[in-house]
Amino acid sequence: MPSIRKRETKSGQIFYEITVSRGRSQSRLYSRWYVPDGWSKKAIDRELTRVAAEFERQCKAGEVISRAERREHATQEAEEAAKILTVYQYGERVFMPSKAVTMAENSRASFQGYLNNWIYPAIGGKKLPEVTPAELSALLLSIQAQGKSHATAVKVYTILHSLFKMAYLGDMVQRNPMDKVARPVPRKDEIKAEVQALSVDELRVVMTALDAEPLKWRALVSLLIDTGMRRGECCGLMWEDIDLDNCIAIIKRNLCYTPARGVYVDTPKTGRVREVDFGSDTAALLAALRGDKRYGYVFTKEGSDEPMHPQSPTRYLKKLSNKCGIPDLHPHKLRHTFASVSITAGADVASVSEALGHADKSTTLRMYTHADAESRKRAAQIFRDAIKKAGQE
Query: pLDDT tens, 164-205?
Result: 999 999 988 999 999 999 999 887 766 555 557 888 889 899
Q: Does residue 70 share a domain with residue 217?
A: no
CATH at 227: 1.10.443.10
Q: Does residue 206 share a domain with residue 139?
A: no
Q: Three-class SS string for the chain? A: CCEEEEEECCCCCEEEEEEECCCCCCCCEEEEEECCCCCCHHHHHHHHHHHHHHHHHHHHCCCCCCHHHHHHHHHHHHHHHHHCCEHHHHHHHHHHHHHHHHCCHHHHHHHHHHHHHHHHHHHCCCEHHHCCHHHHHHHHHHHHHCCCCHHHHHHHHHHHHHHHHHHHHCCCCCCCHHHHCCCCCCCCCCCCCCCCCCCHHHHHHHHHHHCCCCHHHHHHHHHHHHHCCCHHHHHCCEHHHEECCCCEEEECCEEEEECCCEEEEECCCCCCCEEEECCHHHHHHHHHHHCCCCCCECCECCCCCCECCCCHHHHHHHHHHHHHCCCCCCHHHHHHHHHHHHHHCCCCHHHHHHHHCCCCHHHHHHHCCCCCHHHHHHHHHHHHHHHHHHHHC
Q: Domain ends where: 32, 66, 83?
A: 83
> With 80 as the cut, is the pLDDT of residue 376 above it?
no
Please report whether residue 186 resides in a domain: no
pLDDT in tens, 26-58: 888 999 999 888 889 999 999 999 999 999 999
- Cα gap 37→160, rounded to integer Å: 52
Q: Does residue 141 share a domain with residue 212?
A: no
What is the model's pLDDT at position 26? Answer: 85
Q: Does residue 328 share a domain with residue 214?
A: yes
Q: Does residue 325 share a domain with residue 292?
A: yes
The pLDDT confidence band at residue 380, using thresholds 50, 70 and 90, is: low
Average pLDDT, the chain: 86
CATH at 99: 1.10.150.130
Q: Does residue 277 share a domain with residue 166?
A: no
190 touches 149 (CB < 8 A): yes
CA 90, distance to chain mean position in Å, is 25
pLDDT in tens, 288-304: 999 988 889 999 998 88
For 110-116, what is the mean pLDDT?
A: 94
What is the model's pLDDT at position 147? Answer: 87
Q: What is the dihedral of CA 217, 221, 226, 230, to 10 degrees?
A: 120
Q: Does residue 276 share a domain with residue 131?
A: no
Q: Does residue 210 share a domain with residue 322?
A: yes
- Cα gap 3→21, rounded to integer Å: 9
Please report whether residue 392 resides in a domain: no
> With 80 as the cut, is the pLDDT of residue 77 above it?
no
> With 90 as the cut, is the pLDDT of residue 383 above it?
no
> With 70 as the cut, is the pLDDT of residue 217 above it?
yes
What is the model's pLDDT at position 270? Answer: 74
Please report whether residue 213 resides in a domain: yes
The residues near 194 (Cβ < 8 Å, ≥ 6 apart) are: 369
Q: Domain ends where: 83, 104, 126?
A: 83
The pLDDT confidence band at residue 22, using thresholds 50, 70 and 90, is: confident
When divided into structural domains, the chain yields a total of 3
Q: Does residue 34 share a domain with residue 9?
A: yes
Please report whether residue 191 resides in a domain: no
Q: Does residue 100 share a domain with residue 61?
A: no
Pick from 319, 352, 301: nearest CA to 221: 319
What is the model's pLDDT at position 195? Answer: 57
Q: Does residue 333 share a domain with residue 260?
A: yes
Please report whether residue 188 resides in a domain: no
Q: Domain ends where: 83, 101, 134?
A: 83
The residues near 104 (Cβ < 8 Å, ≥ 6 apart) are: 256, 266, 269
Q: Does residue 216 share a domain with residue 330?
A: yes
Pick from 363, 46, 104, 42: nearest CA to 253: 104
Please report whether residue 385 resides in a domain: no
What is the model's pLDDT at position 76? Answer: 77
What is the model's pLDDT at position 190? Answer: 66
- Cα gap 239→251, rounded to integer Å: 11
Please report whether residue 189 resides in a domain: no
For 140-146, what is the mean pLDDT?
A: 93
**Higher per-residue confidence, 252 vs 347:** 252
Pick from 221, 254, 225, 224: nearest CA to 237: 254
Please report whether residue 389 resides in a domain: no
The residues near 186 (Cβ < 8 Å, ≥ 6 apart) are: 150, 192
Range of the domain at 99: 84-180
